[in-house]
Amino acid sequence: MVSFALNGVGVSAGIAIGRAQLISHATLEVAHYTIPMSKVEGEIARFSNAVKEVQSELEALHHAMTGADVPGEFGAFLDVHWMILNDPTLSEAPKKIIVEQRCNAEWALTMQLQVLVDQFEQIEDPYLRERKSDIVQVGERVLKRLMGKPGALPAPVAEEQTILVAHDLSPADVIQFKQHRYGAFLTDVGGVTSHTAIVARSLNVPAVVATHNARQLIRDSEMLIVDGESGVVIVNPDRAVLAEYRLKQSELDLERQKLKRLRLKPAETIDGHHVELHANIELPEDLEQTLENGATGIGLFRSEFLFLNREGLPTEDEQFEAYRTVAEGMSGHPVTIRTFDLGADKNVEGLDGLARVAPNPALGLRAVRFCLAEPRLFLTQLRAILRASHYGRVRILVPMLASSGEIDQSLQMIEMAKESLREQGVPFDSQIEVGGMIEIPAAVIAMDAFVAKLDFLSIGTNDLIQYTLAVDRSDESVAHLYDPLHPAVIRLLAMAITMANKAGRSIAVCGEMAGEVRLTRLLLGLGLVNFSMHPAHLLEVKQRVLTSEVAVAKAIVDRIRRADNPDKIAALVDKLNAA
């Protein structure tokens, strides 16, 4: 068996050793419908286009490999796929099925794939029988082009040791990890702060994205080592490499065990600055991990995850139950519920406003914009949050605010929700705090309105970086341009924290930067004392806080704020961490 390594972007640290389980799109539920005679030609054209697109995809892969440091076998795999794709049994036969059975292209293709798979299963020669998976992979590529989305994940074959390998995973897919525990996952595409990567981190599962062609080069059941820190994936490792990584894995486990001792220790710097370390959660089930890691509050409850992987929308009562569970579970510690951040990469079927494909979803009807455009949905959520506020210290956080008009409208909606509850005599916290997320450069530049109108602020650095640098956070082709240490990002952070501190408004960072231990001292030096992150990172960040001195950090951070050369900034960040 050939041993080889793949490089991607490590988005969730840790080492996993296990067997590959390829996500098979052919097992997806494909829509089955018949079409009228008049649509047959169009359906055939749709199929032919999908085949052509896959041809270009394979060509591009071939091109990318030429000259790259990859063994010759990979080129051979691609050649086989090219031949399969262009074989009439795959590229022509489905057209005949469309004509004869008047069925949609996806259905015709899966019918034909089944015929081919059945034929291959009869073959005695094991090598040739193996080619069945190549046919399925090529068929999946075409299907994916036709359908444009991945489907439900299969359950892992062996718990903990199964490494999921997929072309792509949507946030809705990854959230299913909460039911099926995988050892790690790899995807061909994806960026560091895509929601997919975020969910992986929150589950504490090692993950590597942007491997480009892992899904094609790795076969089912092959042994893999995934290093979620460095982004390296080793396929079919030899014994020595396996032993080396097993050792690393146990060292990491030991470190984790040691950190547990810090769970109840208050987070205070050497020079006596108290720091709040809160957790980001997606679902009430995350409470357990939050408490295990000693969070002193929930800084970000991404409530939109209540919408994913379900039929129909959650009712007010269902939402209320979810929020109340978290409010009660945190026993008086703050619980910051972010109102729905739907849109962009978190789409929900059944919501008319999101049904159309926006030309540029990250700049479209997303988050508060969507909520204000769908007031009934917004009011339902606000009522549910307010009702839960009777059972704990709940706060409302509104995402993606850009202007003072949006703040006013959101506050009016909250007043309306309060009024309707008052009329019905339903109890809620009338002093509930309302905060806004700082995620758009405009919000920092014109932050006076935010400071004047809101009770607290929280910087969503994932989006702030995306919108400042015009780099789509979920597009791996520009992942190298996504830079939390870009001088513009650092200066915006400095401006926002300084302005809020001066005005006496509490300000937090709840984007990924808050959980990156390498950046803890940078944020402390910028004057930040409220951090919110995935529970998995809390103790590591606490350890860094406990060994930091804000006064020392500030002196170096002042130099970082003035620096404009990325190398110099990186060197100063290293210096901060060595101090």
Cα dihedral 330, 439, 387, 371 in deg (nearest 10): -150
Applying CB under 6 A, the site for ligand PEP has a residue count of 11
d(CA 346, CA 23): 21
Q: Does residue 12 interact with ligand PEP by CB under 6 A?
A: no
Whole-number minimum distance, CB 274 to ligand PEP, in Å? Answer: 23
> Binds 457, which of ligand PEP, Mg ion, none (CB < 5 to 8 A, cut-off by type)?
none
Shorter beta-carbon distance to ligand PEP: residue 287 or 510? 510
Interaction pattern, residues 314-353, with ligand PEP; x per rule: CB under 6 A = ---------------------------x------------
DSSP reduced 3-state for 12 = strand
Whole-number minimum distance, CB 290 to Mg ion, in Å? Answer: 20
Q: Does residue 460 interact with ligand PEP by CB under 6 A?
A: yes
Q: Does residue 156 interact with Mg ion by CB under 5 A?
A: no
Tell me which of 195, 278, 486, 534 is the catalytic residue. Answer: 195
Which residues, 156 to 175, sit near ligand PEP by CB under 6 A? none
Among 21, 187, 461, 543, binds ligand PEP (CB under 6 A): 461
Candidate segments 9-17, 47-55, 350-358, 461-469, binder of ligand PEP by CB under 6 A? 461-469
Shorter beta-carbon distance to ligand PEP: residue 9 or 232? 9
Among 17, 457, 494, 510, binds ligand PEP (CB under 6 A): 510
CB of 380 within 8 A of CB of 319?
yes
The DSSP element (H or E) to which 18 belongs, if any, is: strand 15-22
Helices and strands (H and E) in the chain: how many = 24, 16
Among 25, 95, 302, 395, binds ligand PEP (CB under 6 A): 302
d(CA 436, CA 459): 8
Buried b / exposed e over 184-199, threshold 16 CB at 10 Å, is: bbbbbbbbbbbbbbbb
Among 282, 463, 472, 476, binds Mg ion (CB under 5 A): 463
Shorter beta-carbon distance to Mg ion: residue 140 or 463? 463
Residue by residue, DSSP assigns 429-497 as: -TT-EEEEEE-SHHHHHTTHHHHHH-SEEEE-HHHHHHHHHT--TT-GGGGGG--TT-HHHHHHHHHHH
> Binds 443, which of Mg ion, ligand PEP, none (CB < 5 to 8 A, cut-off by type)?
none
Which residues, 418 to 457, sit near Mg ion by CB under 5 A? 439
d(CA 383, CA 419): 10
Whole-number minimum distance, CB 341 to Mg ion, in Å? Answer: 6
Q: What are phi and psi of 355, to 5 degrees?
A: -65, -35
> Binds 548, which of Mg ion, ligand PEP, none (CB < 5 to 8 A, cut-off by type)?
none
Interaction pattern, residues 381-420, with Mg ion; x per rule: CB under 5 A = ----------------------------------------
Q: Does residue 511 interact with ligand PEP by CB under 6 A?
A: yes
Whole-number minimum distance, CB 473 to Mg ion, in Å? Answer: 9
> Binds 168, which of Mg ion, ligand PEP, none (CB < 5 to 8 A, cut-off by type)?
none
Shorter beta-carbon distance to ligand PEP: residue 216 or 468? 468
Shorter beta-carbon distance to ligand PEP: residue 211 or 339? 339
Q: Token pair for residue 181?
A: 């525990």
d(CA 191, CA 498): 30
Question: Considering just the CA atoms, what is the radius of gyration of the chain in Å?
Answer: 25
Angle 234-238-240 (CA atoms, 0-180°, nearest 5)? 105
d(CA 467, CA 470): 5
> Binds 461, which of Mg ion, ligand PEP, none (CB < 5 to 8 A, cut-off by type)?
ligand PEP
Whole-number minimum distance, CB 344 to Mg ion, in Å? Answer: 9
Single out the residue of 501, 577, 552 nearest to residue 270, CA to CA: 552
Query: What string of H, E and C letters represents the secondary structure of 202-270?
Result: HCCCCEEECCCCHHHHCCCCCEEEEECCCCEEEECCCHHHHHHHHHHHHHHHHHHHHHHHHCCCCCECC
Buried b / exposed e over 234-264, threshold 16 CB at 10 Å, is: bbbbeeeeeeebeeebeeeeeeeeebeebee
> Binds 366, which of ligand PEP, Mg ion, none (CB < 5 to 8 A, cut-off by type)?
none
Residue appearing with tokens 């991404």:
302
Task: Tell me which DSSP letter residue 154 carries.
Answer: P
Tell me which of 278, 510, 534, 537 is the catalytic residue. Answer: 510
Q: Token pair for residue 495?
A: 């401006």
Among 463, 472, 476, 540, binds ligand PEP (CB under 6 A): 463
d(CA 356, CA 524): 42
Task: Tell me which DSSP letter residue 398 carries.
Answer: E
Shorter beta-carbon distance to ligand PEP: residue 301 or 428? 301
Applying CB under 5 A, the site for Mg ion has a residue count of 3
CB of 575 within 8 A of CB of 525?
no
Candidate segments 132-140, 174-182, 441-449, 457-465, binder of ligand PEP by CB under 6 A? 457-465
Shorter beta-carbon distance to ligand PEP: residue 511 or 527? 511
> Binds 302, which of ligand PEP, Mg ion, none (CB < 5 to 8 A, cut-off by type)?
ligand PEP
* 371 assigned to active site: no
d(CA 307, CA 340): 9
Q: Does residue 299 interact with ligand PEP by CB under 6 A?
A: no
Q: Which residues are annotated as catalytic?
A: 195, 510
Tell me which residues touch Mg ion (CB under 5 A): 439, 460, 463
Tell me which residues touch ligand PEP (CB under 6 A): 198, 300, 302, 341, 439, 460-463, 510-511
